[in-house]
Chains A and B, each alone.
Chain A
């Protein structure tokens, strides 16, 4: 009799605990989303140089601009500069195991 009477009360306590857990989870998720916005950019910038009929690619260096002559090869000229952003899992790996993305807390974009 006593056990039958106590069941709904324990269920209520459990529900309260679950609600509290959900609130804490959502608060942490929101805080992590805001923190994510302050993270540094992850992209890599490349410079393309035309050397005769070939085009070589290297990392961008400050001072590079399209049309600039370069002595990296004979008659070399910078023909393009562009950014490449690491995608998906590659980004997750860079952030480490306990990152927001590995914990499933990262916002999907």
Chain B
């Protein structure tokens, strides 16, 4: 036998023996659950890398909010952030539903006013629009901070209790969480610039229907209304007061307008709400759908006012939805949504003209955040 062949054979035997040994060790480790431990280790690594990105976004959002407030002559900014970033709202008791809407409305109102007051004190020299942007910037920073803390909690709790199912579930939903965090980050940038967001589709439809030069009056807190004639119909248009970032009180304002009209002997013939609606995957952004009910993504207090007032006076309650994704709803209004505005205006006109007669009174409410959209 040649020496080279002997050497080759010997090396091959060694590689084969080591491979078999490795295979045997892996086979034994399978029985003691080493594969699962390795899998959990990989999952944890993945979660930690994504958590790092969320932390970066949360810290960046806080820094961005801080810089904006400081730039606009905010005082004691660190203390303001300390008080507002972790500000929470405890939801009302729901096992006893009696007057839950009233309690919810009260709590939301207290939270809103408290928050506004914090910013009024810290940014007394700034105007309402600047203050509203600062508020949203802090709310976004607060949301990102909350996401970061929740993910970190779940990861640490999973590690502590060696709950690999919890870690697996967390790893599976991390891409979704990260996407949401990134959307919030983008939204903060757009809010601070004062760019209209996708959710502003409702108020923009209201503005287009009212036309240039329409006169607007404040009918409720941060909510305005205007009256125009639409082929013999008296059209009352309601929206949040812009260009500050606000959704106003559309339900309460509409209730007030209806009661005022009824008090004068005029019963509205139609109540039409226009709002951005979350599309399903596969649906086209900017597609328009119509239906019945109150188109408003409110947790309850505003929406129920539409339903109650419409039911009380037997007013047909109609809804017009402009479809978009969650990301599109809270970031800068994109071209598809913008182009859908004119279609929504035409559809609103069609509904009004087909379902009412000349001489009737119609109320149209453009629901949504009116950031960057004045009247």
Please tell me if the beta carbons of A67 and B53 are within 8 angstroms of each other in the complex: no
Beta-carbon contacts of A50-86 to B below 8 Å, as 1s and 0s? 1000000000101111111000000001001111110
Task: Tell whether A65 pairs with B12 under 8 Å between CB atoms, given A38-B56, A80-B338.
Answer: no
Q: Is B159 an interface residue (CB 8 A)?
A: no
B95 interfacial contact with A, CB 8 Å:
no
**Interface hits, B44-70 → A, CB 8 Å:** 46, 49-50, 52-53, 56-57
**Contact between B12 and A38, CB atoms less than 8 A apart:** no
Interface size class of chain A, counting residues whose CB lies under 8 Å from the partner chain: 20 to 34
B15 within 8 A of A: yes
B8 contacts A82, C-beta separation under 8 Å: no
Q: Which of B5, B15, B194 contacts A12 (CB 8 A)?
A: B15
- In the assembled complex, the Cα of A1 lies from the Cα of B335 at a distance in Å of 72
Question: When the two chains form their complex, are residues A84 and B372 in contact, meaning their CB atoms are under 8 A apart?
Answer: no
Which of A37, A41, A65 touches B374 (beta carbons < 8 Å)? A65
CB of A104 within 8 Å of the partner chain: no
A64 to chain B, nearest CB (A): 7
Chain A 1-34 interface 0/1 with B at a Cβ cutoff of 8 Å (1 = within): 1110110111011000000000000000011001
Residues of A within 8 A of B (CB): 1-3, 5-6, 8-10, 12-13, 30-31, 34, 37-38, 41, 43, 45, 50, 60, 62-68, 77, 80-85
Which B residues are closer than 8 A to A by beta carbons? 1, 4-6, 8-9, 11-13, 15-16, 19, 46, 49-50, 52-53, 56-57, 178, 182, 186, 189-190, 193-196, 204, 207, 212, 242-243, 331-335, 337-338, 341, 372-375
